[in-house]
Each structure stands twice: as C-alpha cells, then as structure tokens.
C-alpha cells in the first residue's frame, strides 16, 4: 500500500494510532522481517551546484594560527542564517588573527561577489598598509573569482586558500561562526 516507504517504526505508529491496536514495536519488526518488508532509504538530493574555480591559491597559512602582530593574517568566510519568515541572510566577515577581532562585516540577502568585495573594502579602509597581509579563505565561488584576485593584488595582499573539503584549515574563522 505504501510502496515500501514505511519501515517498522512507521508501521508500528500507524497500527497504534490509526487502527487503535496495542502492539509491540519488536513484534512489528519481527513480522516485517519474516515477510521481507523493508523501508526504502531515500538519499537527500544535494542542493549546491558544482563549479570550476577560476583562480586557486596555495594554502600559505597552513594552519599557522599563532600570530601576535595585528594585520599580518586575515581570515574570511561567509555564513548563512535562516530567518523565521523562511528567507535567508548572508554574513561575510574578515577576522584578524593578530588582534583576535572582526575587522569588518557585511550583511546581504544574496550570497554574491559584491558581499565579499564590500567586506574587503571596509577592512582595507581601516588599515594604512595592506602590503604582505596573508588573506586566507575557503574555496567559495566568491574567493576563486578573477575579480577578487585582482582586488587582492591591487592592495598587495597574499591570497591563501584552504584545501578542498578541509574546513579545519580555516578553523579560527569557523570558530567565530560557532560563537
């Protein structure tokens, strides 16, 4: 009747609530096993689109998170918040490893390049000399674009990126989102 979608737990609940019968879940499990009835496990569809990065950079930071001087190593990332009304909002921030502070942040209703560009420009305005700052990020589409690489070159910053699928490489920034 249910095309094999229901497992023993759902069948047990159905019998108890809809049919008003007293039955033990172990009995339902045992009977379904004898009849060779199993639930079909459905995989969730992946919601993200694969893309080929235009620009990648070496992991120069290489988990060297100890820094005593400010404006030597900056970390960045974008996180997503789901609002009660069902909409999403995106927060981009730049974190200075030396001073242990957020230098700049930007909120937007869309996750796009402009969000990251605005965050970078706000941070650059606070610092007199950006030459030689290691700018570390994950491999998000905003950070692997040619236009972002051009902006970093303009400010004489060194781009560093986490390895593919290794969120620990950007650990302190992920920790900021955790707080």
pLDDT digits (tens, 9 = 90+) for 10-59: 999 999 999 999 999 999 999 999 998 888 877 777 776 777 788 888 99
Nearest to 137 by CA among 157, 122, 121, 110: 157
The pTM of the whole model exceeds 0.85: no
- In a shared domain, residues 38 and 78: no
- In a shared domain, residues 83 and 33: no
pLDDT per residue as tens digits for the range 70-87: 999 999 999 999 999 989
- In a shared domain, residues 38 and 77: no
Please tell me the total count of domains within the chain.
Answer: 2
* Token code pair at residue 161: 């990126």
The parent domain of residue 153 ranges over 73-178
């Amino acid at each position: 009747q249910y095309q094999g979608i229901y497992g023993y737990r759902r069948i047990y609940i159905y019998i108890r609530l809809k049919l008003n019968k007293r039955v033990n879940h172990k009995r339902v499990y045992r009977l379904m096993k004898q009849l060779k009835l199993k639930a079909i496990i459905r995989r969730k569809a992946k919601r993200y689109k694969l893309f080929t990065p235009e620009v990648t950079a070496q992991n120069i930071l290489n988990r060297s998170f100890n820094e005593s001087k400010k404006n030597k190593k900056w970390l960045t990332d974008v996180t997503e918040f789901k609002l009660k009304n069902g909409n999403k909002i995106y927060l981009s921030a730049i974190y200075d490893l030396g001073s242990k502070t957020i230098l700049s942040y930007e909120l937007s209703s869309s996750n796009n390049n402009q969000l990251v560009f605005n965050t970078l420009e706000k941070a650059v305005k606070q610092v007199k000399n950006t030459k030689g700052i290691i700018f570390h990020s994950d491999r998000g589409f905003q950070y692997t674009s040619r236009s972002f690489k051009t902006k970093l070159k303009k400010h004489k910053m060194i781009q560093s990126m986490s390895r593919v699928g290794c969120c620990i490489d950007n650990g302190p920034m992920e920790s900021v989102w955790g707080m």
